[in-house]
């Protein structure tokens, strides 16, 4: 299975990154034949979507080649995507959102009537979020639910089947290793 990991955290050793590593490790232990591609979103070089909508017809972004084009190819090649993001104001972080905006044409097509057509039916997805708001307030205040909802909207509209959601709350001044115990 080809697994693509999109790490939306700017902290390469932060909670989201550590939970993603643990999740991938568990997936690899179930099947030793997995191929994993890991992308740190905050290290990518790509421009913003300009809203021209040309990708909807062609399936390809018309902006000059950058890392967003490469990620689009990696998504096409994957069987499973694992997306992790810290929770920022009840949503995914901005860098991940900017990337998803650029990937619209490679995630879904559009019928002649303008109805979205998912391009990744049959593929699986895992969503990982982490926020500093402690449980249960992360749910009561909508912090974790907002971020999961936003990522889920992108993935489900693209045809991915969400197989697991991992929400880590109360991460302020804690490491993933201490929460794992």
**C-alpha closest to that of 92 among 27, 33, 6:** 6
Residue pLDDT, tens place only, 12-26: 889 999 999 999 999
How many CB atoms within 10 Å of residue 137?
Answer: 14
Classified as helix, coil or strand, 158 is coil
Question: For position 176, what pLDDT does the model report?
Answer: 55
Q: Which neighbouring-strand residues pair with 164?
A: 126
Phi/psi for 148 (5° steps) reads -60, -45
User: Average per-residue pLDDT in the chain?
Assistant: 91
Question: What residues contact 86, with CB distance under 8 A and at least 6 apart?
Answer: 8, 9, 10, 11, 14, 15, 16, 93, 129, 130, 131
Residue pLDDT, tens place only, 101-157: 999 999 999 888 988 899 999 999 999 999 987 787 777 777 788 999 999 999 999
Q: Is the pLDDT of residue 181 over 50?
A: no
pTM over 0.75: yes
For the chain, domains (ranges, CATH) are 2-180 (3.40.50.360)
Residue pLDDT, tens place only, 34-59: 899 999 999 999 999 999 989 888 88
Helix 94-102 and helix 67-77, axial crossing angle in degrees, nearest 10: 80
Tokens of 156: 């489900």
The runs of H, that is alpha helices, within the chain are: 15-30, 54-58, 67-77, 94-102, 104-107, 137-140, 143-157, 176-180
Tokens of 9: 């955290």
Tokens of 146: 């907002």
Residue pLDDT, tens place only, 154-169: 999 999 999 999 998 8
């Amino acid at each position: 299975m080809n697994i693509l990991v999109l790490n939306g955290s700017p902290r390469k050793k932060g909670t989201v990154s550590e939970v993603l590593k643990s999740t991938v490790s568990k997936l690899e232990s179930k099947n030793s034949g997995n191929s994993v591609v890991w992308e740190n979103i905050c290290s990518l070089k790509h421009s913003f979507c300009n809203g021209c909508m040309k990708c909807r017809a062609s399936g390809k972004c018309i902006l000059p080649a950058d890392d967003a084009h490469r990620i689009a190819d990696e998504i096409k090649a994957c069987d499973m995507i694992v997306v992790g993001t810290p929770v920022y104001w009840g949503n995914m972080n901005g860098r991940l959102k900017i990337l998803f905006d650029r990937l619209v044409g490679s995630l879904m097509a559009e019928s002649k009537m303008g109805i979205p057509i998912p391009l990744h039916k049959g593929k699986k997805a895992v969503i990982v979020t982490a926020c500093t708001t402690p449980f249960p307030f992360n749910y009561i205040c909508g912090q974790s639910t907002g971020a999961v909802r936003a990522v889920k909207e992108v993935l489900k509209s693209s045809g991915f089947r969400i197989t697991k959601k991992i929400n880590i709350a109360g991460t302020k001044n804690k490491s993933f290793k201490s929460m794992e115990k």
